[in-house]
Amino acid sequence: MEFSIVSLSQRLATEADAYRFLEELRWGDQPVCPHCGSVRPPYFLTPKNGGRKTRTGAVSERRVWKCADCRKQFSVLTGTVFHGTKIPVRKWVFVIFEMCSSKNGVAAREIERKYDLTPKAAWFMLHRLREAMKRDPIAGLLSGRVVADESYYGGKPSNRHGHKRGKGGQGQTDKTPIIALVSRETGEVRSRAVPDVTGENLARVLGEELDAEATHLHTDSARHYGPIGRGFASHEAVNHDAGEYVRGDVTTNHAEGYFSQLKRSLDGTHHHVSRAHLDRYLAEFDYRYSTRKASDTERMQRLGQQVAGKRLRYRDAR
């Protein structure tokens, strides 16, 4: 079934419905204990008639389980990016859908207005979802035909007030370099912000992400790639200075298309992203680009499988 805002609002009539929906995304039909990993059917502690009284006398619709092995209690939020949240799960589900369905991303200020949240809560909420969108640290290396290119994000020093231009002046820039690697075989992209574009930095990033012996590297004619390319199965480059953008099967258009979408979104939706948080936004756009051929529902379901083990505290997000 394909989801939309309308169908989700009909399905998630109560907070308990939202818990059930999130349980389906994370576990499917069988809850798994986040404490010990047990798959034995746990005990359902929440009253069947819905809701249970807390110590303060309030009624909570939180669905709670008790592990049959370690005997610890847990819910679908335990050990995930939602852990400890005070925001209703219904709001979380709607925001997840918006993050997965909005091609240009969604701004924290928009989430604040639409879902009646404080600015800090909306900002932190989106960063927690970006944390879930990060690829698994043990993800394999890319191989086959891989496009590598770099671009720069940030405003021009010449557009700033005189006292803010600093040493960059008119001739230099302090924009943040971003390196993107796009697999021609799978369509996956991996991007990263780096201090500056040097042969050493490029070699380090490519060495950490690519299987050199099985990778056919496609780049532009930037001088940094010449020595680096000799370590791969093959290396071919197009010469942009000579007006060459495609030669046979060799092109960097895939990476440039990714950068085009990224910059439109950062400028048009978020307006400004600090260097300190840029990598989190890159994780979001990497996830959305890598799943661009999936439907919004499939993208949302995949994200539901990635929320565990990625808890982010506010003090770490600032």
Instruction: Please tell me the pTM assigned to this model.
Output: 0.90
- For 179-220, how does the pLDDT look when each residue is reduced to its tens digit (9 = 90+)? 999 999 999 999 999 999 999 999 999 999 999 999 999 999
Nearest to 273 by CA among 165, 161, 160, 154: 154
Q: What is the mean pLDDT of the chain?
A: 91
Residue 171 has pLDDT above 50, yes or no: no
Q: Which CATH architecture fits 142-273? A: 2-Layer Sandwich (3.30)
More confident: 99 or 45: 99
Instruction: Delimit the domains of the chain by residue range.
Output: 5-133+305-317, 142-273
pLDDT at 169: 47
- For 224-247, how does the pLDDT look when each residue is reduced to its tens digit (9 = 90+)? 999 999 999 999 999 999 999 999
Rounded-to-integer distance, Cα 255 and Cα 192, Å: 13
Task: State the average pLDDT over residues 70-81.
Answer: 96
- For 117-154, how does the pLDDT look when each residue is reduced to its tens digit (9 = 90+)? 999 999 999 999 999 999 987 779 999 999 999 999 98
pLDDT at 137: 75
| Paired tokens of 131 | 């944390």
DSSP letter for each residue of 140-188: PPEEEEEEEEEEEES--GGGS-GGG-GGGTTT---PEEEEEEEETTT--
pLDDT at 58: 73
**Opening angle at CA 119, ends 278 and 267, nearest 5:** 40
pLDDT at 139: 78
pLDDT at 172: 56
pLDDT at 50: 56
pLDDT at 161: 67
